[in-house]
Chains A and B, each alone.
Chain A
Amino acid sequence: MGRIELDGLTRKYGDVVAVDGIDLDIADGEFLVLLGPSGCGKSTLLRLVAGLIPPTGGRVLLDGEDITHAAPARRDLAMVFQSYALYPHLTVARNIGFPLRAARLPRAQVRRRVAEVADLLELGALLDRRPRELSGGQRQRVAVGRAIIRDPRAFLMDEPLSNLDARLRQSTRAQFRTLHERLGTTVLYVTHDQVEALSLATRIAMLDGGRLEQVGTPTEIFDQPASVFVAGFLGSPPMNLLPARLENLDGRVRVRADGIEADLRPGEPDGSVEGVEARDVVFGVRPEHLRLTDGTGRAGTPVLRGVVRAVENLGAEEVAQCAVGGETVQFRGARPLGLAPGQPVQLATAPDHIHLFDRGSGRRLVWRPHPARTAPATPRA
C-alpha cells in the first residue's frame, strides 16, 4: 500500500511561503507528477513528504498514519535525487545494496537482490564500477536501482531525468512507464518538463508560487486548463493568450479584440442566448488548433486576422509568428505552411477550441446553462 495524503501542508522560510497549504490525495499505485516552473515549491514539497525538511504547518499521512514528524528512515519511502546522490566511494553493487545492508540483511540475500535489480535495469556488467566511471544514464539507473531494491510504499523522484540528454530522456521515460506498470508502486514525481509530465503521469498537479493551480489527468490539464498560468505553461509553443472582450450581440455570444472576431455557440443548435453580460476576458487558442482560411467560410466562424512576422522551421512542422492587433499569435502546422514574412493571413479555428479566462482572476470560464432551460447543453469554452 502507498496512499499519501497531504493536508494543508505548508513550509515558510521567514516571510517567504515556499509551499502554501497543499491539499492532495495520492491514491495507491498512482503516478502523480508535480509540475511547475523552477521556484514553484515542487522540490520543497517532495522534501517535506520525504521528511528531509519539517513543515511549518499541515500534515502528511501515509496509508492513514500521520508521519508529519516521523524521521525519514521511518517513512518507508525511497527517493531518487536530481543529483542521484550515489555514494562516490562505493561500487554500483554496494550503492544498490545499501538499503538492504543498512537493514542488516544477510550478505547472500543482499547479493541476490542486487543481481535481480541489476538485471532488471541492465546494470549487470557495471556492478564493480564506481559512480565516477559511469555515464549519466548509467548513474541514473543505479539511483533507480537503489530506490526499487527495497520495495518501499512509494517512490519520490526529484527531476530524475533533468541531467540526461534529450534522446536518453525519451528512452528512460519509456522505461519508467514500464517499471511503474510492473511494480505498481505509488510514484510522486517532480519535474518542470511538460513532456515528462504529460507522458508519464496518471495525474498531474500543477504548482505555481507554492500553491496548487490545477490537479487532473494529463488530458484534463491540457484540454481544459483551469487558469491562464496552466494554459500558458503547457504546449509547445504554449497556448496563444490574448486580451479580448466578451459581448452579447443580437442574442449571440461573441468574443472581440483587435483583429479577432469569434462567435461562440453555447447551447447549440441555434446558439441564441440571453443574459450574458459583457466582460473582459483572455481569449486562448492553441497554435495547432489554428488553420489558414481565405475568409469565405461560414459567417461567424472564429477568425484571427494578422500579418506574418517570421516562420520557424521545426523539421516536420512550421511555426508562424503573426502580429494580430498588438499581440503575437503563433500558428503551428505541417510544413510547408506556404507563408512568408510580411504576408497578411487569416486564421480560423473551431469554437470548441476556444478557451476563455477571466481577465482579473485568470481562472477558466465555462458555460453553464441556466437551470430553467431544459435544452441539452454541453459545457463549452
Chain B
Amino acid sequence: MTGTFVEVAAVPRPRAVVTAQRPALARRAVRALPPYLFLLPAVGALVVWTYRPLGAALNLSFFSWNLLPTTPKEYVGLDNYRRLIDLPELRNALWLTVAMTGALLLFTVVLPTVVALWTSALGGRGRAVYGALIFAPVLVPPVAGAALWQWMLDPRSGAVDRVLGHPINWIHEVRPAQIAIVVITGWHLLGFAVLVVAAGLSGIDDEYRAAALLDRASRWQITRWIVLPLLSPTLVFLALMTILMSGQLTFPLIDTLTQGGPDSQTTNVYYLLWEYGFQNFDTGFASAAGLLFFAAFGLVALALIRLSDRLTFHDS
C-alpha cells in the first residue's frame, strides 16, 4: 500500500463578509435619546441655579454698580480685582478662614474618627442610642442653634459661664468669640461626620480585622495599620467638605452672634464678601471676590480629589 501524510484542513474562513446594515439615523437618534432625557431635569436645574448666576457674577465683576435699578452699571475692567488684591481686610479674612477651617477639622475629622472607632465596638441598641444622641444637633437649624447659644453664652448669667464659674464675655472678646464660632459649628457638624465615618468603617471588610487578629496584631496596630489607611478616603472626603463648606457653615453663626466683630476678628472671606455686596452695595467688587474664592476653592478641591483617588484602595 502506498500513501502520504496530508495536513488536516484548517477551519475555513468566510470569503466575503456581509456587514449588517445600520438602522436609519433618525431611528438611532430616538434609541439613544432616553438617557439624555433622564439627565435633562438635573442639568436644567444646574444651569438655571448655578451656571447662569455664575455667568452673571462674572459679568458683574467687570462693572461698578450699587444694586439700584436706577443707577447705570459702569464698566471698570479689571479694577475690581485690583482693588480686591490690595485690600488689607482681605488678607486678615483669608487668614482667619484658614485658621477657622483648620480648627473645624478637629470636629469634622479627628473627633468623629475617635468617636466612631470607640462606638464601633458597641453592639445593637447601645450603638443606636449613642448614634442618635450624637446626631441630634445636626437637626437643629443653624439660626435657631445660634439664638440658643447666644443665651447660653451670655456673660455672667449664661449657662456656659455659670458652668465654668468664670465670667467670659464670649461674643465681645476676640479669642472667645472665635472659639465660640468654631465650637458651635463643630457641635452642629459632629453628628453628621460621625455618621460618615461609621459608614466608612462598616465599608471595611471584617475579614481584614479577622486576618490581622490571627496575625497577632494588637488593637492599636490594627487601627493604625489597617483601619485608618482603609478609612483615609472617607477622611479626605470629610476634610474636603469641611474646607469647602466651612465658610458657609459658619456664616449664620457669625451673622447672628458677632456680625463679624469684635474688630472684624470673626470676619471670614464669605462674611467679608457679604458685607461688601449687601451692606456696602458694592456689587461689582463683591462679585469679583466671589469669583476669586470660587477659583481658589476649586483648586483646593481638585488637589484633594486627586489625593483621595490616590488613597483609594480597590478591594480584590
Interface set of A (CB-CB < 8 Å, partner B): 50-52, 71-73, 75-79, 81, 83-90, 98-99, 101-103, 130-132, 139, 146, 150, 156
Contact = CB atoms under 8 A, between A and B. Distances in A.
B221 A88 contact: no
Interface stretch (B130-138, B211-219, B287-295): B211-219
B316 A84 contact: yes
Contacts of B212: 87, 98, 102
B138 to A, nearest CB: 31
A132 B314 contact: yes
A80 to B, nearest CB: 9
B316 A50 contact: no
Contacts of A103: 216
Contact of B229 (A89, A102, A131): A89
Interface of B: 205, 207-208, 210-218, 221, 225-226, 229-230, 313-316
Given A89-B230, A99-B216, A102-B216, A52 B210 contact: yes
Nearest to A156: B214
Nearest to B315: A88
Most central of A73, A150, A156 by chain B CB within 10 Å: A73
27 contacts: A52-B210, A52-B214, A73-B213, A73-B214, A73-B218, A78-B214, A79-B210, A79-B214, A81-B211, A83-B316, A85-B207, A85-B210, A87-B208, A87-B212, A87-B225, A87-B226, A88-B314, A88-B315, A99-B217, A102-B212, A102-B225, A132-B313, A132-B314, A132-B316, A146-B211, A146-B215, A156-B214
Contacts of A72: 210, 213-214
Given A81-B210, A85-B207, A85-B211, A98 B313 contact: no
A165 to B, nearest CB: 16
Contacts of A101: 225
B230 A102 contact: no
B244 to A, nearest CB: 26
Nearest to A134: B316
B61 to A, nearest CB: 44
Nearest to A78: B214
Contacts of B230: 88-89
A77 B221 CA distance: 18
A88 B316 contact: yes
Nearest to A86: B316
A77 B316 CA distance: 24
B313 A89 contact: yes
A157 to B, nearest CB: 12
A83 B205 contact: yes
B234 to A, nearest CB: 13
Contacts of A78: 214-215
A77 B218 CA distance: 15
B211 A73 contact: no
Nearest to A53: B210
Given A79-B210, A81-B211, A99-B215, 19 more contacts: A52-B214, A71-B213, A73-B216, A73-B217, A76-B216, A79-B214, A81-B207, A83-B207, A83-B316, A87-B208, A87-B211, A87-B226, A88-B316, A89-B230, A98-B217, A102-B215, A102-B217, A102-B221, A102-B225
A52 B314 contact: no
B207 A102 contact: no
A121 B61 CA distance: 66
Return the 9 tightest CB-CB contacts between A and B, nearest first: A102-B217, A85-B211, A88-B313, A85-B207, A99-B215, A72-B213, A73-B216, A89-B313, A89-B229
A5 to B, nearest CB: 20
A98 B216 CA distance: 9
A50 B210 CA distance: 9
A91 B250 CA distance: 42
Given A81-B207, A83-B205, A131 B218 contact: no
Nearest to A88: B313
A84 B207 CA distance: 9
Nearest to A79: B214
A351 B221 CA distance: 63
Residue from B210, B211, B230, B314 with most neighbouring chain A CB atoms (10 Å): B211
B201 to A, nearest CB: 15
A101 B313 CA distance: 21
B313 A102 contact: no
B130 to A, nearest CB: 24
B96 to A, nearest CB: 36
Nearest to A80: B211
A85 B216 contact: no
A102 to B, nearest CB: 4
A44 B76 CA distance: 76
Contacts of A73: 213-214, 216-218
Contacts of B229: 89
A50 B214 contact: yes
A44 B140 CA distance: 46
B235 to A, nearest CB: 13
A98 B211 CA distance: 10
B125 to A, nearest CB: 18
Contacts of B316: 83-84, 86, 88, 131-132, 139
A62 B216 CA distance: 17
Contacts of A81: 207, 210-211
A1 to B, nearest CB: 18
A78 B210 CA distance: 11
Nearest to B311: A89
A76 B214 CA distance: 8
B206 to A, nearest CB: 9
A130 B207 CA distance: 18
A266 B212 CA distance: 57
A139 B208 CA distance: 14
Contacts of B211: 79, 81, 85, 87, 146
